[in-house]
Amino acid sequence: MKKLLLVSGLVLGLSACSTPQEPQLTVAPQPVISSVPVAQNKALVIESRDLRTAQFVAVVDNGRKNVQPIQSTSNVRIVLEDALTRQLNSQGFRVVADSKGKLRIDVLDALVKVEHSVFSHDMTTNVQIQLVAETSENKFVKRYTGKSTSEGASSASVEDMEIALNSLLEAVLQDIARDAQLTTFMSENF
């Protein structure tokens, strides 16, 4: 009986070691928290859609037709909706379940592309988010984009890709926070 337990434990231990874990990126951009509210408790509903053609957040090309897609540990749409909600709350807007003012977040692109060669890597990150602010009478649509590139002497790690994507998402959130046209539209129409 002891030998059977030992063998089964050994087999389970070896099978756990043989199944490789696919790498995943943690997408967690920090919102821009405003110290001075610009809106006077204006209520709005936030909705979001993920319109990306593929749901992975990184693609690593090691050459020789060896391309590896990498998923996110969490839903990118939900993460961005949460970050923008916290950002708008700090600006004095109030996110509610029902309101005449609606803000929709369309995630159009959020991708890190890495090309590895023998001794280096090139990394290109793209983010594109469209915001649609609307009431029954008025509509405001604007796209916020960001692109960054970097090179390195060794292969890019998962952490390098996370930093690249989260930094660019934070830059886009900063553009949204500073957009006077958007803030004015929501303040006047919501």
Q: What's the pLDDT score for residue 13?
A: 54
Residue 66 pLDDT more than 70? yes
Contact between 86 and 31 (Cβ < 8 Å)? yes
Pick left, alpha or beta for residue 46 (phi over 0 → left; psi -120 to 50 → alpha; otherwise beta): beta
Number of alpha carbons in the 13 Å side-chain half-sphere of residue 50: 15
Query: Is residue 127 classed exposed, middle or buried when 0-12, 13-18 and 19+ CB atoms within 10 A define those classes?
Result: buried
Note the pLDDT tens digit of each residue in 134-170.
999 999 999 999 999 999 888 889 999 999 999 999 9
The C-alpha angle with vertex 57 and arms to 56 and 63, in degrees rounded to 5, equals: 85
Would you say the C-alpha torsion 33, 39, 45, 50 has a positive or negative sign? negative
Model pLDDT, residue 18:
47
| pLDDT (tens digit per residue) in 70-128 | 999 999 999 999 999 999 999 999 999 999 999 999 999 999 999 988 788 999 999 99
**For the whole model, what pTM was predicted?**
0.86
Lowest mean pLDDT among 18-22, 60-64, 129-133, 141-145: 18-22
For 12, the 3-state DSSP assignment is helix
The pLDDT score that the predictor gives to residue 51 is: 97
The pLDDT, as a whole number, for residue 75 is 96
In which element (H, E) is residue 120 found?
A: none
Domains present along the chain, CATH in parentheses: 45-189 (3.40.50.10610)
Residue 69 clears pLDDT 70, i.e. is over it: yes
